Amino acid sequence: MFIIAPVLLGYELKATPLPSNTETISSELGNEPHNHNKDKGEHDEHSHESAEKDEEHEEHGEGITLSPQKMSLANIKVESIVPEYKNSAVYAPGEIKANGYTSYVVSPRTESVIISRHAALGEHVEIGQKLVTLFSEAMAQAQADYLIASTEWLRVKKLGNKTVSESRLLQAEVTYNASYGQLIALGLTDKAINDISSKDIKAFGQYTLTAQREGVVLQDDFIQGQRVDAGDTVMLLADEKQLWVEAKVSPNKKLSLSINTPATVKLEGQSYKAKVIQEAHTIDPQTRTRIIRLAVENTEDKLHSGMFVKVYFQFATKQQVMAVPENSLVRSADGDWTVFVEDHPGEFKTVEVELGRALGEFREIFGIESGTRIVTKGAFFVASEIAKGGFDPHNH
């Protein structure tokens, strides 16, 4: 019996290393193996550059730095804004009028004919200066009566009481005084009356009106040879050192305008101080407005009767407010109002603000803390300098 024993046949197995999947795929795609450390460095560098650019853009968007020399040349003024009492303004149209208290109407006191003029419209005349010469039949009779009365009075007075009775002396004196008074009533001056005795009788009836006060001829609506009645205005003289302004206020406006209420009168960009002197208690039948009369000083002689002006009545605020000059406000690209704030000397940034009431040449603002230093003069220059930098000057 044969016993068959199993024989184990040994096989030598050799393990052949396989290429990695990553390298295989990369080889098949023709790509190089990815370097993570290199990408990380490039990403960090790119992020740093972007951050620097963002930081630079943000710094530029906030404002600008100006040197002291440039600020001085541009006349830039920076002030700290704190709450103060300001004057609010209420507008009303107005018209310059002659001061009725210092004006003088030149007019004959009897029916007359104008012979010649001695002063022209707009001319400045002095007291006693000749204005116009007229002729009147009533004046001729009055001059003749005076000449007779004065001659008789001188004759009787020279004879005295010994020759002339007391009654005759008294009658001559009364007649003389009456004739003298008649000439005064007709507008003759003492000098003109005293010259009658030496005057040619052919010139009787002629008389000259003179300036009773210093002023400017504002009106002379007459023609030589024209007949005028007693009381007709021949000339109007006015002292224009102080004029009136008649402001027309809507009756619906509830304004408490007491005497001496301050106001500003504006004409062609110039401002004049004025004050309320009268308020009419009736409504103008034509304009249906209240008439407020103001007095304005005309020291530079630039205001004249008939000019139309803007009147701004000034009212002090009841509380302290934050206010800035109107020219320190600049509109942003989206229409918001901004001011330039100085954080550090010469460094300015734009800050949006909300506007409140108009307070004369100032404007009430909100959004700025007390003590903030802002550009109150030269804001336009700062805005233009920021704009020249190539970015939005209003931080938008």
- The answer to whether 328 and 350 have CB atoms below 8 angstroms apart is no
Residue 166: strand, helix, or coil? helix
- Of the listed ranges 139-153, 158-172, 367-381, the least confidently predicted one is 158-172
**If we measure between CA atoms, which residue out of 165, 189, 193, 167 comes closest to residue 179?**
193
Per-residue pLDDT tens for 206-228? 999 999 889 899 889 899 999 99
**H helices of the chain, where?**
21-29, 36-62, 68-73, 137-159, 166-185, 190-194, 379-387
Per the listing, tokens 């001061």 go with 99
Please check the confidence at residue 85 and state whether its pLDDT lies above 90: no
pLDDT at site 389: 67
Out of 26-30, 113-117, 280-284, the most confident range is 113-117
Token pair, residue 207, equals: 């008389």
DSSP characters for 176-197?
HHHHHHHHHHTT--HHHHHTGG
Cβ neighbors of 63 (< 8 A, separation 6 or more) are: 340, 343, 347, 348, 349, 350, 386, 395
* pLDDT tens-place string over residues 255-297: 777 888 889 999 988 999 999 998 777 788 888 888 899 999 9
Q: How confident is the model at residue 361 (pLDDT cuts 50, 70, 90)?
A: confident
Beta partners for 103? 238
**What is the C-alpha separation between 311 and 264, in angstroms, rounded?**
6
Q: Are 250 and 270 in contact (CB under 8 A)?
A: no
C-alpha span between 282 and 285 (Å, rounded): 9
What is the model's pLDDT at position 283?
81
The answer on pLDDT for 253 being more than 60 is: yes
Per-residue confidence band for 57, with pLDDT thresholds at 50, 70 and 90 = very low
pLDDT of residue 40: 46
Distance, CA of 392 to CA of 384 (rounded, Å): 11
pLDDT of 21 > 90? The answer is: no
What does the pLDDT read at residue 335? Answer: 87
Q: pLDDT by residue (tens digit) across 163-184?
A: 888 889 899 999 999 999 999 9
What is the residue whose two structure tokens read 């100032």? 362
Residues 382-394 have a mean pLDDT of: 68
**130 burial class (0-12, 13-18, 19+ CB within 10 angstroms)?**
middle
Give mean pLDDT, residues 364-368.
92
What is the average pLDDT value for the chain, to the nearest integer? Answer: 82
* pLDDT (0 to 100) of residue 4: 43
Residue 15 confidence (pLDDT): 42
Q: Which residues contact 106 (CB under 8 A, 6 or more apart)?
A: 131, 132, 209, 211, 233, 234, 235, 236, 237
Which of the two residues, 337 and 46, has the higher pLDDT score?
Answer: 337
d(CA 380, CA 327): 8
pLDDT bin (cut points 50, 70, 90) of residue 62 is low
